[in-house]
Amino acid sequence: MSKEIYIAAAVITREDGNVLLVRKRGTLAFMQPGGKFEAGEEAIDALCRELREELQLHVVPSSVSYIQRFSAPAANEPGHTVIAEVFHVPTAETVEPHAEIEEIFWANPNTPGPLNLAPLTRDHILPFWLSRASEYK
């Protein structure tokens, strides 16, 4: 039986429609930015804290739209399942990697290229985003 990891994750988009993907230091897979909840933390609060820590991106909770919950095998923790509360965060700000983020990439969700994508991103979030992005404009 796999252990569950609860996270908040963001589909961060620019005006050109590209989606931000991040790769954490010491890992190979690109994924949505976000992270684990701290004790007693609500999903939106975890998301805002993680985006501030990882990308120096200051997000106002009222500017964020909830998408839905997705789950998939964890990319960096074998035998674990990640359960993600996923939010849409549009931004016009410049985003830079910070803290444990080694690399960022603005991907066209239609053709993300040869990136090694985390299962949650590859199998759930990007396909969902491609089919429903117009609802979050």
Phi, psi of 70 (to 5 degrees): -130, 155
136: DSSP letter: G
> In total, how many domains does the chain have?
1
Q: Could you give the 3-state DSSP secondary structure of residue 22?
A: strand
What CA–CA distance (Å, rounded) separates 107 from 110? 8
Cβ–Cβ < 8 Å for 12, 91: yes
Tens of pLDDT, residues 27-85: 999 999 999 999 999 999 999 999 999 999 999 999 999 999 999 999 988 899 999 99
Query: What pLDDT shows up at residue 136?
Result: 78
Tell me, what CATH number does 28's domain have?
3.90.79.10
Query: What is the rounded distance in angstroms from the CA atom of residue 70 to the CA atom of residue 63?
Result: 21
pLDDT tens digits along 106-123: 999 888 788 999 999 999
pTM for the complete prediction?
0.94
pLDDT in the model for residue 1: 64
Q: Minimal CA–CA distance to 8: which of 53, 28, 79, 110? A: 53
CA–CA–CA angle 19, 20, 23 (5° rounding): 140
Where in the sequence is the domain holding 7, given as residue range(s)? 3-136
What is the residue type of 8?
A
* pLDDT grade for 137, boundaries at 50, 70 and 90: low
Task: Quote the pLDDT of residue 135.
Answer: 84
The candidate with the shortest Cα–Cα distance to 32, out of 78, 93, 82, is 82
Q: Decide which of 11 and 132 is more confident.
A: 11
Rounded-to-integer distance, Cα 78 and Cα 130, Å: 28
- The pLDDT of residue 128: 94
Determine the Cα–Cα distance for residues 79 and 73; give it in Å rounded to an integer.
7
